[in-house]
Amino acid sequence: MNKEQIIVKLTTIVKPYIQNEEGFKNMSEETDFINDLEINSANLVDIILDVEDEFKIEIDNDSMEKMLSVKATIEIIQTKMNA
Amino acid sequence: MNQKQIIKNLPYQKPFLFVDEITEISENGVTGNYTFKENEFFYEGHFKDNPITPGVILTETMAQIGVVCLGIYLLKDAILSEGKTTKIALTSNNIDFYLPVNPNEKVTVVSERVYFRFNKLKCNVKMINSKNELVCRGTIAGMLVI
């Protein structure tokens, strides 16, 4: 799966949890979940569980801690999917 | 960790402790109860001359028994070995209410774990009264950090 396809899926996943509409409209690879979208830590867990279901992967604690931006999340998804 | 130790490790005290007893606890869920005393502080205002337990207090009772007690049990190894207290925060709840709870009523809370991952504990929780009737039910989630 390429970056663009992952971003499309991620956009759908994060939508219910965002607080910052402006940040969401401009969501790109550079977007930070907490600073740009104002997602809280509890909802970040929901996003990670949704990512696991959507991409059929398992996220461990180390990966979870890195998944704070779209870019890092794409990298983790791609690595896990190709593992 | 036994039920008394769990209650002792709760970060609440009177007048905001709503756990009398834990009767069953495992990695997957918890059952406990609380009896609302006649002189609970909130009956003075809810409602005027007509004391009924507020829905927020029923939610709180479900959260204390169903989520926080279970969370302390799940983190028991870290709590016992490091002697630390748990920091907790309610993060979401969605509850439907079916019956009122009067002063002196005993309620039982039954909670089933949905997941506990990355410090977030989410549970399906219900409350029943002493006649075994459903009082309220829903989902509650919180973050628990040692």
Q: Which domains does chain B have, with CATH numbers?
A: 3-145 (3.10.129.10)
For A23-58, write each residue's pLDDT tens digit.
999 999 999 999 999 999 999 999 999 999 999 999
**Contact at 8 Å (CB) between B140 and B93?**
yes
Structure tokens that stand for B120 in this block: 């977030």
For B40-49, write each residue's pLDDT tens digit.
999 999 999 9
**Interface of chain B toward chain A, CB-CB under 8 angstroms:** 89, 91-92, 115, 117-120, 141-143
Domain that holds residue A15: 3-82
Q: Which residues pair with B115 in a beta bridge?
A: B122
Length of chain A: 83
Domain count, chain A: 1
ipTM of the complex: 0.87
Model pTM score: 0.92
Q: What is the mean pLDDT of chain B?
A: 95
How far does B64 lie from chain A, in Å, by closest CA?
18
